[in-house]
Amino acid sequence: MSATATDHVRIFDTTLRDGEQSPGCSMTTPQKLLMASMLADLGVDVIEAGFAAASPDDFHAVSSIAKQVRGSSVAALARCQRNDIERAAAALEHAQAPRIHIFIATSDLHLEHKLRMTRQQVLDSIVEHVTLARSLCADVEFSAEDASRSDLGFLVQALELAIEHGATTLNIPDTVGYAVPAEYGALFAHLKANVRGIERAVLSSHCHDDLGLAVANSLAAIENGARQVECTINGIGERAGNASMEEIVMALRTRPQHFGTQTRIRTQKLYPASRQLIAVTGSVIARNKAIVGENAFAHESGIHQHGMLRNRATYEIMSPEDVGVSRSSLVLGKHSGRAALSDRLKQLGFELDEASLNQAFAAFKTLADRKKEVFDADLESIAMGARGDE
């Protein structure tokens, strides 16, 4: 299904801001520039380049990315504070499509213990700072931090004021990864139905993975009207991470009828982007990580390998080529069967008759019991032995 001009899901990548904030993932400005060009190449709609007021280095990184990137919007984060917003605007001066992203918490817990502000003070701050941001930039995103634990009536009030004063994207973060999918989806449905002026803004999700639900929550938001999702490559981010871009993008692509909308990501670049982030940060991912993990397209069991050799659809719901992995691999180990062994031997140039294949298979199983993985060199010597070569 093609993504229409108004209805596609915008990908807001925060690898360089929320992702970079996590231990083991910090990046230098040249590394951020490398990642930013990869993200633009991927077709990301918005690249969040950083928090310009955090330090001179962060300002420099945001402004360098703003100068370099073409084709994607570049966003800078700011608290609801004049200095933050002015620094964000200055860092974005040379961006082709700048966005100021301002946030303030709306949950009573944050108001009482972190901000020490009353609800009315928060509403006043939203009016003042969205207005300021809008006077400096045509594209303003407002985030209600800890939205998923906020009083619903107060959240609606805050969002209505943000729209009224010029915010064009409204982000509803599940800041601490507390929400569950049905509840987070219902929150979006409620906001879509009850926030005055919502038709003038794009609703956005921003999910953290503390309960392992960040992607599921993001998809629930999309099902209920979100048309921007905030996410990171490999799901890096604060604590357990942010929603993983590759998982959201491929869920929409693999289940087009279910979601009825798509992103504009060039999916063949997902795996290269994941590898580049690992190379830059040194932060590795699990072998079984969905979409981009080493085992995502690897098959070891004999039954699965047999099915795969007849028709890949038996055990693969997407093709590895679609995400930039060159091909599926049939890993030869103790669970593998005769069909996979014969197939690999043919690839290595050994056409064995029935008796030799039986002998090779027996030798292979004995070896596989001793070794975790059997390599091509092992197979060559097994095949030569079975064939009776000198």
Quick one: tokens of 30? 């040249």
Q: Is 242 labelled as part of a ligand binding site?
A: yes
Give the x/- contact pattern for ligand KIV in 268-307, rule: CB under 6 A. Answer: ----------------------------------------
Q: What's the rounded Cα separation, in Å, for the pair 248 and 237? A: 16
From the CB of residue 240, how many other CB atoms can be counted at a distance below 10 Å? Answer: 15
**CA–CA dist 85, 121 (Å, integer):** 18
Is 208 labelled as part of a ligand binding site?
yes
Nearest to 318 by CA among 292, 300, 287, 284: 292
Q: Residue 103 binds what, of Zn ion, ligand KIV, none (CB under 5 to 8 Å, by partner type)?
A: ligand KIV
Interface residues for ligand KIV in 156-175 (CB under 6 A)?
A: 171, 173, 175
Q: Residue 247 binds which entry of ligand KIV, Zn ion, none, with Cβ cut-offs from 5 to 8 Å by kind? A: none
Tell me the residue ranges of DSSP E strands in 24-116: 46-50, 73-79, 98-105
Query: Are 180 and 213 a contacting pair, CB within 8 Å?
Result: yes
Q: Does 103 bind ligand KIV (CB under 6 A)?
A: yes
C-beta of 206: minimal distance to ligand KIV in Å?
5
Query: Which of ligand KIV, Zn ion, none binds 84 (CB below 5-8 Å, type-dependent)?
Result: none
Q: Please tell me whether 210 is known to bind a ligand.
A: no
Residue among 145 and 246 whose Cβ is closer to ligand KIV: 145
DSSP reduced 3-state for 318: coil
Cβ proximity to ligand KIV: between 19 and 302 the closer is 19
The pairing of strands 228-231 and 10-13 is: parallel
In this structure, are residues 364 and 354 in contact, taking their beta carbons and an 8 Å threshold? no
Is 18 one of the binding residues for Zn ion (CB under 5 A)?
yes
194 labeled binding residue: no
- Give contact residues for ligand KIV (rule: CB under 6 A): 18, 103, 143, 145, 171, 173, 175, 206, 208
- Give contact residues for Zn ion (rule: CB under 5 A): 18
